[in-house]
Structure 1
Amino acid sequence: MPRPSLREEVVAAALDQFHLHGYNGSGVKDVTAAAGLPKGSFYNYFSSKEEMALEALRRYGIGREFERLHDRTLPPLARLRAHFVFLGQDVARLGVDRGCMIGNFASEVATQSPALREAVAAGFAWWINEVTEVLREAVQRGELGPERDLELLASSLVHAWEGTLLHAKVTGDMRTVDEFFPGVFDPLTGYSAGPVS
């Protein structure tokens, strides 16, 4: 049986390659070369490139640190804003040209792979649900009015974020990400905050 550490190296390399070059721009050979393994060893860990991409996508989601949304040391809207600030800082750290791997896969392989399309759709649905729960808590604590459509607000925030990253990727400019907060997040939620960082 293959050593788990080598599988982890393949997954880490796949995550990096898919995020940097996209699904179609990353082959099995690229991933195994990045992991320092012969191409033939790939099939000890995955049956197909698609299966590897599904695992990379899952790992990417883990790296978004969604548990921050449940950090009850902060009020709900501050916590939600901190979530998007973290995502923006991660974009700045990794490079704006990478964008969001979930969004990249959505635009690149939605018509090519039903399995990846379903995984991306499920990821977005889960994310929107998590944001909705934080917004629901904000209503309970009086930070938002009870008349708000929380699912619509949550999906609007997530979709606006993904559009922000697509625009930033095209322009190569982080200003679009910075503008998300005063232009989208704060007006939609009624949040009042100082600088982003």
Structure 2
Amino acid sequence: MSTDTKERIASTALDLFHANGYSATGVLDITRAAGVPKGSFYHFFESKEALAVETVRLYEATIKYELLETAQASPLGRIRAHLSYITKMAEAENFQRGCLLGNFSNEMPSQSAAVTAVVEQSLELWTDKLAAAIAAAQTEGEIANRSDPQRLAGFIIASFEGAVARSKLTRSRTPLDGFLETVYSDILA
């Protein structure tokens, strides 16, 4: 069995978990959608839980942390590019999916300690990268707010997750626009 089969299963699972949630997505749903026999699933993954851990890692790559680290823009410009990108990600599916990290944050604590841990690690990594960009923007005088960068980054990410959830509920960009306006005018001012 090939690596392509493993990648197809993981990619399909990411799509289904993101669209339907962990509980509503079964192994048979994944293998059917991927067009592979059920035995192929167990050849590559010990369990649905192990596959969910893999999908969090795949999703993490779509967040584009590198936008926060590129030397091609000022620190505040990098933050703006990143926030613009992640809000467009939320909008791309007409606000139907939300953010996988936020979705799993709500669903997984009662289901899987392993998936919950990898989601938390992903959120911590995201917070650290955003905090580094905030600290750099503070140092360069682009952000007058001198609050702790780690705390600001954690608040921004938590606020983003809330705005995405609300956009998913309302099928509207309005909560995300309110999030961005508040972040730019009140938090990163």
For normalisation by structure 2, the TM-score amounts to 0.95
One-letter code of the match for 2:174?
A: R
Query: 1:132 corresponds to which residue?
Result: 131
Letter in 2 for 1:135: I
Cα shift at 1:52: 0.3
Matched residue, 1:42: 41
Q: How many residues matched?
A: 189
Aligned-residue offset at 1:73: 1.3
Structure 2 counterparts to residues 6-155 of structure 1, below 5 A: 6-145=5-144, 147-155=146-154
Structure 2 residues not aligned, in runs of 5+? none
User: Are the structure 2 counterparts of residues 111 and 185 from structure 1 closer, same or farther at C-alpha, using a change threshold of 3 Å?
Assistant: farther
Deviations 1:111-161 (A, max 9, x none): 221111111111111111111100111122111247322111111111100
* 1:195 alignment partner in structure 2: none
Name the structure 1 match of 2:160. 161
Residue 144 of structure 2 contacts residue 188 of structure 2 at CA under 8 Å; is this kept in 1? Answer: no
Preserved CA contact (<8 Å) 1:157 1:185? no
- Tell me if the contact between 2:138 and 2:146 (Cα under 8 Å) persists in the aligned partners: no
Inter-partner Cα distance in structure 2 for 1:185 and 1:53: 34
Contiguous gaps of at least 5 residues in structure 1: 191-197
Alpha-carbon shift at residue 89 of structure 1 (Å) = 1.0
CA distance in 2, matches of 1:146, 1:90: 27
Alpha-carbon distance between aligned partners in 1 of 2:78 and 2:132, rounded to the nearest angstrom? 12
Q: Distance in 1 between matches of 2:18 and 2:62?
A: 12
1:14–1:119 Cα change, 3 Å: same
**What percentage of residue pairs aligned between the two structures are identical?**
33
Distance across 1 between alignment mates of 2:151 and 2:43: 44
CA distance in 2, matches of 1:151, 1:185: 17
Partners of 1:13 and 1:129 in 2: CA distance = 29
Distance change in 2, residues 1:186/1:81 (3 Å): farther
Q: Distance in 2 between matches of 1:61 and 1:45?
A: 20
TM-score after normalising by structure 1: 0.92
Question: Take 2:14 and 2:131, find their aligned partners in 1: how far apart are those partners?
Answer: 28
Alpha carbons 1:14, 1:52 under 8 Å: kept: yes
Amino acid at match of 1:32: T
